[in-house]
Chain A
């Protein structure tokens, strides 16, 4: 029998699969195109999305190292930026080292495999576990919902930028 946990996993599967479709055939220039000087690029968004999921689930919830740190993705991608991109300035977005979408998706696939392992091991009582940082605290349950909402927002942006560049059927 299905559970609400499966709905969370299928939402996560949906946004990652759709992200892969939206990246198909994009050129290096398109991946780095900015809609305005203050707008994020597609490639930066893909990197940020993978880092966000890695940090929330493999880092915060599992209480371990992110896949980024533990499996050498700084070396593999050449991205030495501290953090996961949160509140990056626009010159940081523009300065993201040359990295292919395929490499970032390879990283994202590893993040996802680890994250599903973490979620599979979670039980209902874990939903009430509290995570505190500074003067903010939230629950693991909130984090799972937040991951879908945040990641899907960024997917929507990737799709929208692609649409600005390529038009409706591109």
Chain B
């Protein structure tokens, strides 16, 4: 029998599968292209999406260490452990290191798997619980967070698709 947990799970898998399709075949230049100097580029956006998944799931909801730190991904990607992307300036986006996107996806695969495991393990009673999101300095409800993750990640996916479309055209 189905439950209302199913749409959240299939939504998570849908946006993530689509993201992988959308970046397929892009060159390093295309990944770093900005339509205007204040716009995010695809590589930064994909990295931020992975960080969002890891932080919401592992850190904010579960209260564990982020995989970014625990499994050494910050080090492997040569970035500071506190780097997350929220509120970064255009200079920081431009100076983002040209890391291999495959390595970001190795990290993202692990974060996504842990997100799905977290969702499976949540009980209905957990949804009423508030957790404190330190980086946002606010208490947030776990039920709200689940909907928010889908909405936030999918927005960024839409941006990746749009930036690709600007470079490659309709059928690219």
Contact = CB atoms under 8 A, between A and B. Distances in A.
B124 A4 contact: yes
Interface residues of B, number: 48
Given A124-B1, A156-B155, A11 B169 contact: no
Interface of A: 1-15, 18, 35-36, 38-39, 90, 124-128, 139, 141-146, 148-157, 159-161, 163-164, 167-168
A15 B151 contact: yes
Contact of B151 (A6, A11, A124): A11
Q: Mostly helix, strand, loop or mixed at chain A's interface?
A: helix
Contacts of A6: 127, 143
A12 B147 contact: yes
Contacts of B4: 3-5, 7-8, 124, 127, 141, 144
Nearest to B155: A156
Contacts, number: 172
A147 B76 CA distance: 36
B159 to A, nearest CB: 5
Contacts of A149: 11, 14-15, 18, 150, 154, 157
Contacts of B7: 4, 8, 127, 141-145, 148
A12 B7 CA distance: 12
B166 A125 contact: no
B47 to A, nearest CB: 16
